[in-house]
A and B are shown apart, each in its own frame.
Chain A
Amino acid sequence: MGMLHVKVWRGTEQGEFQAFEVPRLESQTVLDVVTYIQRKCDASLAYRFACRVGVCGSCAMSVNGQARWTCRTHVSKVAAEDRLEIAPLRNLPVVRDLVTDMREFFDKWARARGQFQGGKRRTDDFARVAPDSRERQQVDAGIECIGCGVCYSACDVVTWNRDYLGPAALNRAWTLVNDVRDVSRKERLAAVAGDAGCHACHTHMNCTERCPKQISPTAAIAGLKRMALAAAVKGEI
């Protein structure tokens, strides 16, 4: 099936693209290509992956300029004229080659109060949440996030404002403020309503466009904006 012409980022923030030739195979994913290069061409190439089936969220990279989960991205979908340019995710410090330091990404989940805070004890009865309730539907729309960082990498507001919490952390906050069992709604809304929170979003929708799980963080952020506004009017935050 011919050869793929692949350019791979080598180095840290400073570095350059290195060219490789990789045999084109049927049903080949971008992660397959990176793995081939690491195993057959240059064992010093650093990259990150785990599950290979779109569950763990660790293999996201920039492919031909767009952030993608590489394990579920078929070469046939992205390699125009059999050319690939593979780089680390944007908006994150580069550790080496294709590996980014994701600490700030996950720290921001904590800053957005991304932890569930229940009010019941284990001796209490189960919480009953109707699957068709409005809140449950809102949670369902955003709950499948795998924390891959694709949205964070695609977001211009993150580039402009390094403190901005980012689409994934805000989406997580949105799923929690809609969780009827959670008891720290007010504190969470206060945490996401600041200058670096939901109101900083410019609705570019890069996150929604790129999310591999078809989640719309823009919808979640718009929901947070409305909820934060209502809470501020009522004097809650």
Chain B
Amino acid sequence: MKNDFRARNHPAYWAFVVHRVSGLLLTLFLPLHFWALGQALHGEARFDGFLRWTEQPLVKFAETALVLLLAAHMAGGVRLLMLEFLAWRDWQRSLLAIASGASIAVGLAFLLNVV
């Protein structure tokens, strides 16, 4: 018999899910990122045209989500490294809260910069 969501509904498991899902979404984004950079090979005008396209509000909103994903993935990764390489007990929940807080702060900072 296998566990269902009831066995997994706790903060550390959610941290795992966020880390895994953000990693997968960022992997999906990477080809798009390289394609965008590749536009520069076709000349300055084409790349500038692409950059102007990214100024649209919807694209900026998507970029904010991207920054949030990056921040969450990095904060989650640092959390894991700290759990695995530093001697620890009892403060893992605080670490989780700090990681979540830091990623949201980075996302909000980017959004403020955009708006």
Give chain B residues whose Cβ lies under 8 Å from the Cβ of A87: 1
Interface residues on B, range: 20 to 34
Give chain B residues whose Cβ lies under 8 Å from the Cβ of A13: 1
**Stretch of B2-10, B21-29, B43-51 at the chain-chain interface:** B2-10
CA A87 to CA B4, docked complex, whole Å = 13
B75 CB to nearest chain A CB (Å): 14
The answer to whether B13 and A206 touch across the interface, beta carbons within 8 angstroms, is: yes
Q: How many pairs of A and B residues are in contact by the CB < 8 Å rule? A: 70
Overall SS of chain B's interface: helix
The answer to whether A204 and B16 touch across the interface, beta carbons within 8 angstroms, is: yes
**Chain A residues with a Cβ closer than 8 Å to the other chain, count:** 31
The answer to whether A206 and B8 touch across the interface, beta carbons within 8 angstroms, is: yes
Q: Which of B1, B6, B7, B83 contacts A222 (CB 8 A)?
A: B83
Instruction: From known contacts A90-B2, A159-B2, A208-B12, infer whether A203 and B84 are also in contact, taking CB-CB under 8 Å.
Output: yes
**Which 7 A-B residue pairs are closest in the complex by CB-CB distance?**
A65-B6, A205-B12, A209-B10, A222-B84, A90-B3, A90-B1, A204-B16
Listed in ascending order, the chain A residues whose CB lies under 8 Å from chain B are: 13, 62, 64-67, 87-88, 90-91, 94, 141, 153-154, 156, 159, 202-206, 208-210, 216, 218-219, 222-223, 225-226
Listed in ascending order, the chain B residues whose CB lies under 8 Å from chain A are: 1-8, 10, 12-13, 16, 80, 83-85, 87-89, 92
